[in-house]
Structure 1
Amino acid sequence: MSRLPLVSTETADTEQAELLTEVQRQLGRVPNLYAGMANSAATLRGYLTMRDALTRGKLTARVREQLALLVASENSCNYCVSAHTMRASRMGFTDEAIAATRDARADDPHANAVLHFAREVIRSHGRVADAAIDSARRHGVSDAELTEIVGHVALNTLSNYFNHVAEPELDFPPVPPAKGGAMTTRWRQASKVVLVEGYSLLARDGRPVRTIDDVSVTIEGGFLHVKVPGSDEIQIVSAPAVALVTYPES
């Protein structure tokens, strides 16, 4: 259960409702991150405004997604790693490219330089050495892009840290963070698990089903482990096979 309430259009005030409606328009739904951040309309507005501004910068949409995934992985944000893994997959990134991104690597030399510099910014808390800036410039990263990288680190760190504080229910296919420090592998009660087409779990009566209710789950090594009440068997599915996991409100 989220440690901060999730604001809905039914519980929102006028300003909160305006912001959540804009999120719905942009994304097609309101992920729990935004519903939690809406507790402070000022914070959500600031986040959305900065995100919108950075989409108009020099860095491409693919590189921006790589930055979001890298920062989430460095900050051990399970929620954001899961969200950006799904988005990267939809943008055509392979599993290998996603894993490489989380390790600050890319086949494209420019993107590789961007990711390396971003990781230096994160790990040095902004106190990067002259050599890091020189290396990025040698690989074609402009001064405008260097500046935007810092902006993206700040933007995504905001969402990562907010998730650490609020712990909203994960509403994306689960993927563990690479750094692992903040992630817990304890069993949790899930009200619903939904798999993508072509995958199934065994229900209580032994039938293969794509949707199963009221089970225990945990995430380990990129796999969702599922325990059905009344059975000692642990069923395991890979993260890409999971469409949705929801948790009870209390």
Structure 2
Amino acid sequence: MSRLNLVDASHATLKPIKEKLGANLPPPVRVLANSPAAMSAFFALHGTLGQGQLTPRVREQIALAVGNAQGCRYCVSHHTQLGRKTGLSDQELDQARSGKAPDAKVEAALQFSRQIAARRGAVTDAELAAVRAAGWTDGDVVEILAQVVATTFGNYLNHLAQTEIDIPPVDLVPAAVIDGIHA
């Protein structure tokens, strides 16, 4: 049971979201509908990031790495489904939860994402140098930060609401496996 009200799916606030997502609105969306301003900000941020330089695959891998590091099982389950739709394999999805990827450049972005989350943005010079050395530009770095913020918004919402998982659940990777970066 959610600790916050799940707005009825027939509520007028949810009409435009239902048109985009379909009739079965996920519980986090129904929680967001308690604040039309917050809901608008959430969808605006995610929609704008969808027009950025990061590919859908990389955005989902970042969401998995950050969601796992922040202990949000709902988000990890949700982004596993979305990641599959981008063509990520089960192995890539599993690796992303630990901040790993078969591609070294993507892995650098995932590690950096987890460092941003763990250090609340105050990454070290060495961490910033590492992501740059992997081939990410300053514009990419800012976009990675924005993706971490967008993911954190969803993670924190689900923590606050204690959202019930209404989709196939995915287990978190235990923190001990995630090389000392904990959020």
Mapped to 1, the partners of 2:85 and 2:42 lie a distance apart of 23
Q: Taking every aligned residue pair, what percent have the same amino acid on both sides?
A: 36
Mapped to 1, the partners of 2:64 and 2:21 lie a distance apart of 18
1:7 and 2:1 matched: no
1:78 and 2:84 matched: no
Deviation at 1:89, TM superposition (A): 2.4
Mapped to 1, the partners of 2:171 and 2:35 lie a distance apart of 28
Mapped to 2, the partners of 1:151 and 1:67 lie a distance apart of 11
- State the secondary structure of the residue aligned to 1:4: coil
Deviation at 1:21, TM superposition (A): 2.6
What do the CA deviations read for 1:74-129 (whole angstroms, capped 9, x no partner)? 11111111111122223332222111101111111221111111111111111111
Contact kept? 1:33, 1:168, Cα under 8 Å: yes
- State the secondary structure of the residue aligned to 2:106: helix
Q: Give the aligned partner of residue 46 of structure 2.
A: 51
Which letter does structure 2 place at the counterpart of 1:21?
A: K
Unaligned runs of 5+ in 2: 176-183
TM-score, normalized by length of structure 2? 0.89
From 160, 163, 173, the equivalent of 1:165 is 160
Contact kept? 2:104, 2:134, Cα under 8 Å: yes
Mapped to 2, the partners of 1:105 and 1:157 lie a distance apart of 19
Q: Give the aligned partner of residue 181 of structure 2.
A: none
1:27 and 2:7 matched: no
Deviation at 1:43, TM superposition (A): 0.8
Mapped to 2, the partners of 1:27 and 1:111 lie a distance apart of 28
What do the CA deviations read for 1:120-170 (whole angstroms, capped 9, x no partner)? 111111111111111111111011110011111111111111111112221
TM-score, normalized by length of structure 1? 0.66
Q: Give the aligned partner of residue 60 of structure 2.
A: 65
Mapped to 2, the partners of 1:21 and 1:117 lie a distance apart of 37
Mapped to 2, the partners of 1:23 and 1:62 lie a distance apart of 23
Contact kept? 2:9, 2:25, Cα under 8 Å: no
1:103 and 2:89 matched: no
Larger RCO, structure (CA 8 Å, separation 6 or more): 2
Contact kept? 1:6, 1:32, Cα under 8 Å: yes
Highest CA radius of gyration, 1 or 2? 1
From 155, 175, 178, the equivalent of 2:173 is 178
From 145, 152, 161, the equivalent of 1:150 is 145
Unaligned runs of 5+ in 1: 181-250
Q: Higher strand proportion, which one?
A: 1
Mapped to 1, the partners of 2:34 and 2:164 lie a distance apart of 16
Mapped to 2, the partners of 1:119 and 1:34 lie a distance apart of 25
Mapped to 1, the partners of 2:172 and 2:151 lie a distance apart of 14
Note the aligned Cα RMSD (angstroms). Answer: 1.7
1:117 and 2:140 matched: no
Which consecutive segments of 4 or more residues in structure 1 shift more than 4 A? none
Which letter does structure 1 place at the counterpart of 2:96?
A: T
Aligned length: 175
Mapped to 2, the partners of 1:40 and 1:178 lie a distance apart of 32
